[in-house]
Amino acid sequence: MAKKILHISERGEGGGGESVFRETVVLFQELDFTNTHYTACKQSNKLPFKVDFDFKEKEQLTDFIYSFSNKRKMDLMLKEIEPDIIHLHHYGNLSPSILHSLYNYKKRRDNIRIIQTVHTFQYSCSHQAAYDYNKTKRCLDCANVHFKTKIFYRKCSRAGFVHSIAKGFNSLMTHYYYKKNIIDIIVVPSNFIKEAILLNKFYSDKKIVEVNNPIFEDLEKNIKFKKENNIVYFGRLSEEKNIKLLITAFALFTFEDTNNYKLLIIGDGSEKNELQKYVNEKNISHKVIFFPFMPQSELVKYLQTSKISIMTSKCFENAPMMMIESFNHDIIPIAANHGGMREMVLKLNFGLLFESEEEYSLVEQITKAVNDYEELINEKPKLEAQIRDLFSKSKYFTELSNLYSYK
């Protein structure tokens, strides 16, 4: 029987979880001829689909804790379309008022199903990052308790004390509704994040399903890229991404390097100015090129010419799409040996790991990737069929379709 399915996210524009939401909507609108799909997110003219219901931008801090405006919008759209299935993606800044509305709707219609794809550590950490910005270290100290209050005195959110307080109240309300069992199925893209959720015994009997984020980009087989001596990082430029370590390791590597490698840093963030100063201090500004954040259509030009990509994150990460992008474009990914980065390298059986936060270990792996590039890339055809099956759009579509019809 045909169902009405509502896809919800804070926004559809951007990378990471936003790209998964965006491409999920596009995929089901193209392939699902049985059900009707609706979307709710912040309006943008850059999206490849029509937004049926738009949310407002956060105007003040109280909107982040509880947005009455988004609650009213959510109530109205639920009343208008009466969805049978709700697929909730990242809704962070929309506030827990979204959960409040879903809770009321589910009380009226107990036969509906709510599925949530988890893109962050929101079940394990009050500010969703599993990283203590105050102590600058990875942290899952709150994962085993349901109501997480340490943020109120640890001030561990990225933006300091006031933001930590707001995040704390946001988290308390969020987990209040989680405890009301409004989420029927939790979808995770990595086993690592599943294990982090299960540190809280409350979720031990919940249906948690691992579904790989798919390769959304269709590439011709055996395509040959014209490679240059480029190392690339693309993503947010913030403290937990540890880009300073990448620059330090690149400076050490390039000191002995005769191959004229360049480092491309693509993205924006709070640390950009400091990183540019640090590059100047290291006297490598002629070898490090900064680019602003760019959409996928522009990013792909730089991926096609790069040989190596690097993730130096101090944080755990989830299931970083950089690994998939690298495989797609004949790039050797190098990643820190922890969390979702380690899991993705092992799952793909492609790429190199360096000891977390160890600059000389990273230099060693950069040197290996440079010296053995052709040999490592020549291993790729043996992995192609398995990886494309594991991360295929058809597999993703089938697995989600099964969850939509699950009883």
Residue 21 Cα to chain centre, angstroms: 11
By the 10 Å C-beta count (0-12 exposed, 13-18 middle, 19+ buried), 29 is classed as middle
Q: Which residue has the tokens 């004229």?
A: 260
How far apart CA 20 and CA 14 sit, in angstroms, is 10
Percent of the chain whose predicted confidence (pLDDT) is above 70? 96
Task: Summarize pLDDT for 230-257 with one digit per residue, the tens.
Answer: 999 999 899 999 999 999 999 999 876 6
User: Do the domains 4-214+392-404 and 230-390 sit in the same CATH topology, yes or no?
Assistant: yes
Pairing of strands 137-138, 131-132: antiparallel
Summarize the confidence of residues 19-38 as an average pLDDT.
92
Neighbouring residues of 327: CB distance < 8 A, sequence distance ≥ 6: 333, 348, 350, 380, 383, 387
Write down the mean pLDDT value for the chain: 91
The yes or no reply on domain 230-390 and CATH 3.40.50.2000 is yes
Q: Under CATH, what is the fold of the domain 4-214+392-404? A: Rossmann fold (3.40.50)
What are the tens digits of pLDDT across the range 313-371? 999 998 888 888 898 899 999 999 999 999 999 999 999 999 999 999 999 999 999 99
The confidence band for 219, taking pLDDT boundaries of 50, 70 and 90, is: low
Residue 211 has pLDDT above 80, yes or no: yes
Concatenating the DSSP letter of every residue in 11-22 gives -SSSSTHHHHHH
In single-letter form, the type of residue at position 153 comes to Y
Q: Are 390 and 383 in contact (CB under 8 A)?
A: no
* Two structure tokens written together for 233: 């990082």
Predicted pLDDT at 295: 81
Q: Read off the pTM.
A: 0.90
Domain locations in the chain as residue ranges: 4-214+392-404, 230-390
The residue with greater pLDDT, 240 or 160, is 240
Q: What is the pLDDT of residues 77-121, one digit of tens each?
A: 999 999 999 999 988 788 999 999 999 999 999 899 999 999 999
